[in-house]
Amino acid sequence: MATWAMASHGRWAWLTVALTLTILAPSPTVGIFLQGTETSYARFPKWDACTNATFSFEFRTTQSEGLLMYADDGGRFDFFQQMMHTGGRIRLILNIVNGRDGRVQIDVGRSVNDGHWHRVVIRRHRMETTLLVDGVSDSRSSFGSDFNFGNTESNSEMFIGGLPNEMHDNIHQLALPSALYKTRFRGSIRNVIYGNCTCQRTRGRMIEGVGVTVRPREACDVRDPCRRGCLCVSGDTEPTCDCTELKCVTGECVGVFIFRP
């Protein structure tokens, strides 16, 4: 009897310890999950993609083809379209000059559809645009006379993973209508960060989405412990603060891209 009582007590003690650890252990965080259905997309704020702007985010997927992001000038010439194509490689197609023949295509690297987090960055520097995928980069220059990306009034918002199906009714408002017919992205997104025409980076929050789940939330949305001037970066369980100081050197923000996913 006494032995049973002790054993039973011991079992309860372990259960209590296990429960306490479960409560204290950080819960896994994810971010935004897009279901990749025929209607899914996430809408983010506009990107002021002027000649010194940056835009970056992290994604995780096993899909081999899909639209990652799209933004345009409301239907004239300018657009940015980033996607995964043939075997999960990243391609950026853009036009920042006034004219249909100003298109530039940048392909970077190996397949990234391995179910791990990857980070893509688009960085502008006057006529040159750079695409970085996990720190591996390639650049292309645009040729023309005007390198401004539309104008902030009439530009579209930033779409991630697909475009709203309502746009079928207003296809002339798309500078690259084929974006509407791309395979939608199925996977997770986190750390959507804007360099909005300045060297200062800000986190972008989803405005609205279809076919999207937002829980478990990414670490920086649960808790942002960073002091002013520092950028919160979500890790798998915890946020970290990136306090890199960014300086503008001949129109380019320097010190930005030291990042390890």
Cβ 152 to ligand NAG, closest distance in Å?
A: 4
- Which residues within the stretch 156-195 sit at the binding site for ligand NAG (CB under 6 A)? 194
Segment contacting ligand NAG by CB under 6 A, of 11-19, 42-50, 134-142, 179-187? 42-50
Q: Does 129 bind ligand NAG (CB under 6 A)?
A: no
> Among residues 107 and 252, whose Cβ is nearest to ligand NAG?
252
Q: Does 125 bind ligand NAG (CB under 6 A)?
A: no
Q: Does 152 bind ligand NAG (CB under 6 A)?
A: yes
| Contacts with ligand NAG, 193-222, as mask; x by CB under 6 A | -x-xxxx--x-x------------------
Cβ 44 to ligand NAG, closest distance in Å?
A: 7
> Among residues 80 and 182, whose Cβ is nearest to ligand NAG?
80
- Which residues within the stretch 49-108 sit at the binding site for ligand NAG (CB under 6 A)? 50-52
Cβ 157 to ligand NAG, closest distance in Å?
A: 8
Segment contacting ligand NAG by CB under 6 A, of 47-55, 87-95, 118-126, 208-216? 47-55
Residue 149 neighbours by CB under 8 Å, 6+ apart: 49, 50, 53, 73, 78, 80, 96, 155
- Which residues within the stretch 232-261 sit at the binding site for ligand NAG (CB under 6 A)? 248, 251
In the complex, the residues that contact ligand NAG under the rule CB under 6 A are: 45-46, 48, 50-52, 152, 194, 196-199, 202, 204, 248, 251
